[in-house]
Amino acid sequence: MSVTVASYNIHKAVGNDLRFDPGRILDVIDEIGADIAVLQEADRRFGARQATLPAALLAERGWQVAPLAERSASIGWHGNAILVSDRVTLERAARLPLPALEPRGAVLADVRVDGHLLRLVGAHLDLSGLWRTRQINAIVDAIARQPAAPPVLVMGDMNEWRLRSPGLASLASAYPPVPLAASFPSRMPIGQLDRVFASRSLTIEEAGVHRSALARRASDHLPVWVRLGAVPGLATDG
């Protein structure tokens, strides 16, 4: 298995120049060469929760949207969406409710790449440390309740500056963190808010923060990415 997975808070496709430009977001993802994109803030927050990446544009650019939305105008759930390219087979998707004062949720997708099953979890966590810890514990518990047990990538905007915070520490004990540099704010990153956690059975060939000039304009966050290599002993039947 060799696959590149990106996590990106797209800020509702509004860049630092205050322009709404969904095509620019997809251009940034293309720069990374991602096969899978785990997105945050992919829908507007109020009203019909209109998707900020139009369905026609996604189809034109070769992206399939994981069926996570509850509303016809959305592509995600609480802004969390997962896109897969044509070299990835999407097998199932699920919404993971989280405890929260404000609307929050995580999403899950099982995908198959070159015969290997991979579980993806995307999240955009609360600004409150107390609620973040509760949400992370809920995510770990929800993953444990899922059918089968393929390797897992947990990705997203964790809204946490400290890896050793109580919430992230509990997540890291189950899924070790992938070392990444700061990704927020995109013009001059100082905060490592966008994080990736991976099962020990996964081989991380490369990982990084995408810092192109386009990415610095397209959103207030820079995307982060991991490239997965072969998984020794991983069964291909899931």
From residue 223, give the alpha-carbon distance in Å to each of 27, 39, 99, 157, 174. 12, 9, 26, 10, 23
User: Could you read off the pLDDT of 9-40 as tens digits, one per residue?
Assistant: 999 999 999 999 999 999 999 999 999 999 99
Q: Tell me, what's the pLDDT at 5?
A: 98
Q: Enumerate the β-bridge partners of residue 60.
A: none
For residues 69-78, b (16+ Cβ closer than 10 Å) or e, as one string? beeeebbbbb
Global confidence as pTM? 0.94
- Could you tell me if 156 and 180 are in contact, meaning their C-beta atoms sit under 8 angstroms apart? no
- Could you tell me if 140 and 168 are in contact, meaning their C-beta atoms sit under 8 angstroms apart? no
What are the φ and ψ backbone dihedral angles of 130, each rounded to 5 degrees? Answer: -60, -45
Q: Tell me, what's the pLDDT at 127?
A: 83
For residues 5 and 87, give the distance between their C-alpha atoms in angstroms, rounded to a whole number.
12
Q: Tell me, what's the pLDDT at 238?
A: 35
Q: What is the mean pLDDT of the chain?
A: 92
* Nearest Cα residue to 34 out of 81, 95, 85, 104: 85
- Could you tell me if 51 and 42 are in contact, meaning their C-beta atoms sit under 8 angstroms apart? yes
**Domains defined for the chain, CATH in brackets:** 3-228 (3.60.10.10)
Q: Tell me, what's the pLDDT at 1?
A: 65
Q: Which residues of the chain carry a pLDDT beneath 70?
A: 1, 230-238
Classify residue 129 as exposed, middle or buried by CB count within 10 Å of its CB (0-12, 13-18, 19+).
middle
Place of tokens 């600004």: 127
**How many Cα atoms within 13 Å fall on the side-chain side of residue 229?**
6
Q: Tell me, what's the pLDDT at 33?
A: 97
- Could you tell me if 76 and 111 are in contact, meaning their C-beta atoms sit under 8 angstroms apart? no
For the CA atoms of 210, 213, 214, 218, the dihedral, rounded to the nearest 10 degrees, stands at 80
Token pair belonging to 170:
């509990």
* Nearest Cα residue to 79 out of 35, 129, 134, 126: 126
